A and B are shown apart, each in its own frame.
Chain A
Amino acid sequence: MLSTEPVTTPVRATKLEVKDLNVFYGEFQAIKDASMDVPENRVTALIGPSGCGKSTFIRALNRMHDLSPGVTVKGHVRLDGQDIYGKDVDPVTIRHRIGMVFQRPNPFPKTIYENVVYGPKIHGLSDRRKLAEVCERGLRRAALWDEVKDRLNESALDLSGGQQQRLCIARVLAVEPEVILMDEPASALDPIATSKIEDLIGELKRDYTVVIVTHSMQQAARISDFTSFFLLGDLIEIGTTSEVFTKPKDKRTEDYITGRYG
């Protein structure tokens, strides 16, 4: 089954433009000359076998590699035409506009409420009433409100794994980013929690541009509009999800899709 909403206009505005991206861990080159366009208000999935570099690639899209010593990024990533690796660019501003959800839910050891309003607070919102509104809106959009509305002042660590992950999504939504990066957001979750996250991603693309790494081809097929296939640090192929899954251009993509790889 492919994405429920068909891709009506194949060419959309490009939100993120990746050009000749190279990422090195010390001497080891994890991403080699990758270039791709990420269309606005669509879900783009990154697939490939373990160790192919898809997580490394997505972390380069909001400069998360800056935090790890020994990682070098070369090339260009343009957000609405502006290179996020440009000389005068503040990575903090970039991460405000490009949020990220991680593989393992990583709620702060604070209350549910404090988790959601963390972003707005650090960006200067202090009005209690507005913060409460932001909190409710974020939790509603992350489809978590009904489950937690009576326990906002309890620890986020008491939530289930799936709830924690939706809380992390709510936390990102609360800072109103333009792009949401998700690094295997459902890989640590059970099937029911996974399907909730997948439904949510379908909702999110109306307002946001979503890039998601997934190790599950079924998941990519279910939720994404575009799919790119990585293998050993190379971006092999990118196209609409239906094209990549039914008529892959590259032999290696076909081998992976049909289960002959990793």
Chain B
Amino acid sequence: MTATTPSTATPFVRKDNASQRRLADAVATGLLWTAALGIVLLLAVFIGYLLYLGAHVISWHFLTAPPSEISAGGGIGPEIFNSFYILVLTLIFTVPVATAAGIYLQEYARPGLFNSTVQFCAESLATIPSIVMGLFGLIVFVQVLHWHFTALGGALALTLLNLPALMRVTQEGLASVPQALREGSMALGATKWQTIRRVVLPGSIAPLTTGIILIAGRIIGETAVLIYTAGVSVSPGRSAFNWNPFHPAETLSVHLWYTHSEGLVPDAVDIGNGSALVLLLIVLVFNISARILGRGLSRHFTGK
């Protein structure tokens, strides 16, 4: 080295633009942090506002009493029940089919025409707007099958709507299990099904559970598809818990829409705000429990 280039003593430190790079780093960190904070603030403001509007409406009476058509003071008891009832029905239909299809596509199907056809159909199904699925349900379940508005019809329409998403969730959950684990199992003389059953499924139980609960949260809030299939009234008997799947079953989200847009009761705004708050809290509980359960299951199944 000659004495004419004293500044290149350590070639990895480029003093000329170090401050510039530090600035860019700080700006990027700041921007990303602000975006993240923005999301948190948005949610906080949203929940705060709904609490402000709806908290005073909520009472034991409001949560359990049947709704009222004309006079003030109606409750949302049957709606809460119907929301969960339809959710459970939908999950009973959706989870087995979606999981099986997801396992098949991810673990068994070889790339080819059949596989890509199924994928294409699932993606197309996923892009159908829920109102269109609602009208489809109206034609098939309400009119052609003569069921009229029923919890079952609503659940089946919701199944069609959420099947692709849950299949996707299954596929992604399975894909998150490293190929090396499958090979490790097969190299011990395990069959494909033993490998899936004992290594792949336990290894993906956390993302699968999380995915199912998040989709459950979405199903709870689904409205348009149910207006035309499960209807906007609760069962004629007006008892809060009607297990008959062939009765009309207005859910909480449908009730929220109905009282706000069509309702005749003088306290429609209060009922709407109260319903919205309850709905939001239910969805929040779903999302939080998805996280807790996901972590717990993953710990249980990985021995960690």
Contacts and interface: CB of A to CB of B under 8 A. Distances in A.
B178 interface: yes
A14 interface: no
Interface stretch (B52-60, B182-190, B268-276): B182-190
B191 interface: yes
Contact of A95 (B178, B187, B203, B303): B187
Contacts of A118: 185, 188, 190, 198
A171 B183 CA distance: 13
A69 interface: yes
A74 B301 CA distance: 40
B127 interface: no
B156 to A, nearest CB: 36
Contacts of B190: 92, 95, 118-119, 122
A157 B183 CA distance: 17
A158 B303 CA distance: 10
Given A67-B182, A102-B180, A122-B198, A109 B189 contact: no
A96 B194 CA distance: 13
Contacts of B187: 62, 64, 95, 99-100, 102, 172
A108 B186 contact: no
A95 B183 contact: no
B302 A172 contact: no
Contact of B302 (A93, A112, A155): A155
B70 interface: no
B303 A106 contact: no
B189 A119 contact: yes
A106 B181 CA distance: 6
Interface in B202-261: 202-203
A104 B180 CA distance: 8
Contacts of A95: 186-190
A212 B241 CA distance: 67
A147 B180 CA distance: 25
B181 A108 contact: yes
A64 B304 contact: no
B199 interface: yes
B188 A155 contact: no
B185 to A, nearest CB: 7
Interface string A70-114: 000000000000000000000011011101101010111111101
B61 interface: no
A168 interface: yes
Contact of A175 (B183, B188, B302): B188
B189 A106 contact: no
Nearest to B110: A69
Contacts of A155: 302-304
A174 B301 CA distance: 21
B111 interface: yes
B302 A110 contact: yes
Given A110-B303, A155-B303, A172 B183 contact: no
Contact of A92 (B189, B198, B202, B304): B189
Given A67-B182, A67-B183, A106-B178, A122 B304 contact: no
Contacts of B181: 106, 108-109
A157 B182 CA distance: 16
A122 B303 contact: no
A64 B191 CA distance: 12
A43 interface: no
A211 B226 CA distance: 63
Contacts of A112: 303
A255 interface: no
A154 interface: yes
Contacts of B198: 118, 122
Contact of B301 (A96, A109, A119): A109
A64 B186 contact: yes
B188 A172 contact: yes
Nearest to B298: A109
A93 B303 contact: no
A151 to B, nearest CB: 11
Contacts of A69: 110-111
A96 B303 contact: no
A72 B187 CA distance: 19
A102 B188 contact: no
B188 to A, nearest CB: 4
Contacts of B183: 64, 67, 100, 102, 106
Interface in A153-192: 153-158, 168, 171-172, 175
8 contacts: A64-B183, A64-B187, A93-B189, A96-B188, A99-B188, A102-B187, A122-B189, A171-B184
Q: Closest 5 A-B residue pairs measured CB to CB? A: A96-B189, A111-B303, A109-B302, A100-B187, A106-B180
